């Protein structure tokens, strides 16, 4: 069974330890929410999982399908079935959403079979239409240049379409702590909910409880000072909304 297992992860940036012994296990089909106050290391975790060169792993391991993910290049992680959404997607002028997706799909196919000649265009078109219909997206979107002049909501749509088209097994989505309006939240959550039938495992990283009004997580984890200090079911997010993070600070200190 494929599951993403993070064990005793420690990571630094500029020699400062940010992730301090984090454990987390995500199985296919499970939706996990990672919450926590600002500056606690949530985005750092996403960057480390992504293989960002500025972050150094000093201890622990991340295993998926029997492979040590930390030894892999970012594209190899993607080919293994891990999808990492970029928090600040870059614009690629001259490359349409459709071309970008076809290139990404072909790279993934090539990685699993060197003989692969790429997805035939009619099949790609059919697949893309179907995915766009499922996400209630206008077909004209596929012909636009990726992220160029996209609104926040359109960037999120592009991200979710990428997720749907690449069919990863695990998706890690770091939602910005600001700037995600209700429409964008809906796009992300509808997208994720519609992919649940595909057995996708999801880690949604968020500062706000409100996204969880739309995405129903199976597990909620609270991160403080670089590690998970509390895990529970959806109720934990509600408790957090009511009581804030203060009741956990003491716990976090005694764990340190
Ligand atoms: P979160 O996403 O939970 O708000 P981050 O992972 O963005 O937290 O940041 C965790 C900590 O790492 C913060 O204290 C932040 O100041 C620090 N940090 C982030 N990037 C850098 C950097 N480039 N250099 C030094 N410290 C950084
Ligand atoms: Mg963050």
Find out whether 31 and 196 touch, Cβ atoms under 8 Å: yes
Residues with CB under 6 Å of ligand 1 are 13-14, 16, 18, 36, 38-44
pLDDT, tens digit, for every residue of 87-140?
A: 555 677 789 999 999 998 999 899 989 999 999 999 999 999 999 998 888 999
Structural domains of the chain, with CATH = 3-255 (3.40.50.300)
Q: Is the pLDDT of residue 178 over 60?
A: no
Find out whether 102 and 110 touch, Cβ atoms under 8 Å: no
What residues contact 29, with CB distance under 8 A and at least 6 apart?
Answer: 196, 199, 200, 201
Residue 129 CA, ligand 2 centroid: distance in Å: 33
Closest CA to 222 of 5, 33, 17: 33
Round to the nearest angstrom and report the end-to-end CA distance of the chain: 33
pTM of this prediction?
Answer: 0.89
Find out whether 212 and 185 touch, Cβ atoms under 8 Å: no
Of 246 and 22, the structure prediction assigns the larger pLDDT to 22
Closest residue CA from atom 18 of ligand 1: 13
Find out whether 192 and 202 touch, Cβ atoms under 8 Å: yes
CA 87 to chain centre: 9
Report the phi/psi class of residue 142: left, alpha or beta, with left for phi > 0 and alpha for psi in -120 to 50.
Answer: alpha
């Amino acid at each position: 069974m494929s599951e993403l297992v993070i064990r005793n992860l420690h990571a630094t940036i500029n020699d400062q330890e940010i992730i301090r012994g984090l454990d987390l296990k995500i199985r296919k089909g499970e939706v996990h929410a990672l919450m926590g106050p600002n500056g606690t290391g949530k985005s750092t975790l996403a960057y480390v999982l992504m293989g960002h060169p500025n972050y150094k792993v000093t201890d622990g391991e991340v295993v998926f399908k029997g492979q040590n993910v930390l030894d892999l290049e970012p594209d190899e992680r993607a080919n293994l079935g891990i999808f990492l959404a970029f928090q600040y997607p870059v614009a690629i002028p001259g490359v349409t959403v459709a071309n970008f997706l076809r290139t990404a799909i072909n790279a993934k196919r090539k990685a699993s079979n060197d003989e692969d000649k790429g997805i035939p265009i009619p099949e790609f078109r059919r697949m893309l239409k179907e995915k766009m219909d499922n996400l209630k997206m206008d077909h004209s979107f596929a012909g636009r240049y990726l992220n160029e002049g996209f609104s926040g909501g359109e960037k999120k749509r592009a991200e979710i379409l990428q997720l749907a088209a690449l069919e990863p097994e695990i998706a890690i989505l770091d939602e910005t702590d600001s700037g995600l309006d209700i429409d964008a939240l809906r796009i992300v959550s509808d997208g994720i909910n519609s992919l649940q039938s595909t057995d996708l495992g999801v880690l949604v990283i968020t500062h706000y409880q409100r996204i969880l009004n739309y995405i129903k997580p199976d597990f909620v984890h609270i991160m403080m000072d670089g590690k998970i200090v509390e895990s529970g079911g959806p109720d934990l997010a509600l408790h957090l909304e009511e009581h804030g993070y203060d009741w956990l600070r003491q716990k976090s200190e005694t764990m340190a």
